[in-house]
Amino acid sequence: MAPDGSVACIIPARYGSTRLPGKPLVEINGLPLVMWAYACAQKAQVFDRIVVATDDERIVRAVEHHGGEAVMTAAHHTSGTDRVFEASQKIPCRYFVNLQGDEPYLPAALLTGFCAAVREIDDFTLLTVVSHATITGIDNPNVVKAVLDAENRALYFSRSPIPYDRDRSGRAAFYRHVGIYGYSAAGLERYCTFPEGKLERLERLEQLRALEFGMRIKCIVHDFESVGIDTPDDLAAFRDRSNA
């Protein structure tokens, strides 16, 4: 039985990225990209366990070589959350945090607050993070935008610039989504019983599955400079930053 309040951080790491093949193993200053995310989770010192969930033995070996823990999962998963769910079946925890392996910099304070907040959600709710989008990010399809209600629950996520400021008032608040999710064990299982959603397939955004099938997504607004790596240009910019 999972201890009450226990939280595991699972980092999904798929080898076959279409835009940046082998992305989890790309090295920056001698450390594979996936281990940068792992190090963020360790630095926060709030998780009962940190595990990389992958479909490739090379990633397992790299994680273990650098002192981390990794588990093999099936190759067929359509989303990182499905991969996290498979790994969660081997980890007796009450709550799970899905930390994207291509987010190499997340502040410890954010993860500390997130870990506390995930213990407050119910089995019908997902937790995630948004920050205010920059002007350059609004039109970038690799920057996922979010629209929130008055209680910071997500109404929609899109690669398009939403909401549309028809009158060009300049009053629109643009939020960018950050690659971290939290669920109770039962909430994670509930999400993964749903089939792939039509909107999820169209936008290639896994969180839309939850909204399509009636789950809530609560958003923590935390402004910081997110460094999600999706393309070779993102990787080059992060390398420059790391060497600065």
Residue 1 lies in a domain: no
- Interval 106-157: pLDDT, tens: 899 999 999 999 999 999 999 999 999 877 788 889 889 999 999 999 999 9
Q: In this structure, what CATH number is given to the domain that contains residue 152?
A: 3.90.550.10
CA distance 242 to 229: 13
CA distance 162 to 154: 12
Any residues with CB less than 8 A from the CB of 89 and at least 6 apart, and which?
none
Residue-by-residue DSSP string for 23-79:
GGG-EETTEEHHHHHHHHHHHHT--SEEEEEES-HHHHHHHHHTT--EEE--S--SS
For residue 145, give its domain range: 7-243
What pTM did the predictor assign? 0.91
Residue 147 lies in a domain: yes
Tally of domains in the chain: 1
- Interval 153-181: pLDDT, tens: 999 999 999 998 888 887 788 999 998 99
Q: Is the distance from CB of 38 to CB of 126 less than 8 angstroms?
A: no
